[in-house]
Amino acid sequence: MKLTERIRYVGLNDRQTVLFENQWPIPEGVSYNSYLVVDEKVALIDTAAAAFGDAYLENIRREIGDRPVDYLIVNHMEPDHSALQARIRAQYPDVTIVTNAKAVPMIAGFQGITENIRVIKEGENLPLGETSLQFFMAPMVHWPETMVTWCAEEQTLFSGDAFGTFKAVNNNVIDSESNDYESYKEEMTRYYASIVGKYGATVQNALKKLSGLPIKRICSTHGPVWERDIPQVVALYDRLSRYDADPGVVIAYGSMYGNTAKAARALADALESAKIPYALHDLCSENVSYALRDVFRYETLVLGAPTYNNGIFPPVRQLMEAVCDRLVKNRRFFAFGSFTWAGASVRLLNEMAKSAGMELIGDGISFQHAYSPDKCDFGDLLHNLYYVK
């Protein structure tokens, strides 16, 4: 479909895949966005996932008919965007692949393509006719070869995975009443927390590099084309990449026989009564990405884990390791959990939190055998939470 007379959308929705990257649930699907810039020369920007090759090629033909694709711009080599490069080369044998030096060995390794590749550098321009494309490197947002493409004449940024989101788009593609920021905010945050979250510093570098561009349109590789909601989308990425968070508590727990779960629900009830915002996550029944999303949302993390094999109950350890891996900053931390003969989980969680630079709110609560309110008194924690920054 036409975004402008020269810019065409040729992406598609995936409502079949259950786990994105075989890790993250996408119950509302995801889109693989690709774009054409149609001028004297035709540039195709990124491709799509392998399973959608026939539909993708048909989308291109629908927009340009029998015209050749002159350039294939490779912003990012992750296979959900690069898997169809060889099919594009087969369909358009004279196409020149345009990318940066770091992507070249990846193209060879994934696609077996080594010829007719033009390597561009920071700020270089590619004329297409009345329009041109300019390239800016954005390394580690979130792979080392990542770059973005700018079309000044259309004031359009082709941003790769930046500003992307889980959740398929409607047929309009452009942000609108049915593709609005508010309806994507939760899934955009979960996408960022799951996939990009470790790279806050490099996202900040990219935002600063691009801040002077008069951007009218952001064409990401996942989610709506942002026009109306650009300020909110950029502000969210800026906030997430600075690890800023709202007052509130993430309670995430795992429980073998229900005792740690009872403690978690008791804490949730107490927060509810105190009108302190919170999110409650059972890590044994839901994917860790939902808790990660809320770790990027709220400034206090409370983890509940029984001691298991003299360590941390594995689902809770997985979340804690994921938080540490993402270099999450400016968080406060509290741990609780049950044990039978030797309590270790709370101590080990505190050690991990301290090593990650989190502020400990007390020593935590390690209670033996069955849960009871007197064994697991959250009074001191609640008192401290009244002073959430």
Full-model pTM? 0.95
User: C-alpha 132: how far from its chain's center?
Assistant: 29
Lowest mean pLDDT among 1-5, 24-28, 262-266: 1-5
Residue 95: the pLDDT is 98
Provide the pLDDT for residue 389: 46
Q: What pLDDT sits at residue 89?
A: 97
Superfamily of domain 248-385: Flavodoxin domain (3.40.50.360)
Between these two residues, 345 and 388, which has the higher pLDDT value? 345
pLDDT at 187: 98
List of residues 6+ apart from 21 with CB closer than 8 A: 195
Tokens matching residue 359: 């502020």
Angle between helices 200-210 and 230-241 (to 10 degrees): 140
- Say whether pLDDT at 185 is over 50: yes
Q: How far is CA 254 from CA 282, 319, 336, in A?
A: 6, 10, 11
Q: Which fold has domain 7-241?
A: Metallo-beta-lactamase; Chain A (3.60.15)
More confident residue, 82 or 384: 82
Residue 385, pLDDT > 90, answer no
The number of residues in the chain equals 389
User: Which residues make Cβ contacts (< 8 Å) with residue 141, sequence separation at least 6?
Assistant: 160, 161, 162, 196, 199, 202, 203, 206
Average pLDDT value over all residues in the chain: 96
> For 37-46, what is each residue's pLDDT tens digit?
999 999 999 9
**pLDDT digits 0-9 by tens, 50-61:** 999 999 999 999
pLDDT in tens, 223-278: 999 999 999 999 999 999 999 999 999 999 999 999 999 999 999 999 999 999 99
Using 50, 70 and 90 to split pLDDT, how confident is the model at 353?
Answer: very high
Spell out a b/e string for 9-25, using b for 16 or more CB atoms within 10 Å of the CB, else e.
bbbbbbeeeeebeeebb
Q: Determine how many CB atoms are found less than 10 A away from the CB of residue 124.
A: 14
Whether 161 and 21 have beta carbons less than 8 Å apart is answered as no
Residue 131's pLDDT is 98
Q: Percent of the chain beyond pLDDT 70?
A: 99
pLDDT tens-digit map of 332-341:
999 999 999 9
Give the integer Cα–Cα distance in Å for 278 and 298: 8
Q: What is the pLDDT of residue 383?
A: 86
* Residue ranges covered by each domain of the chain: 7-241, 248-385
DSSP code, position 196: I
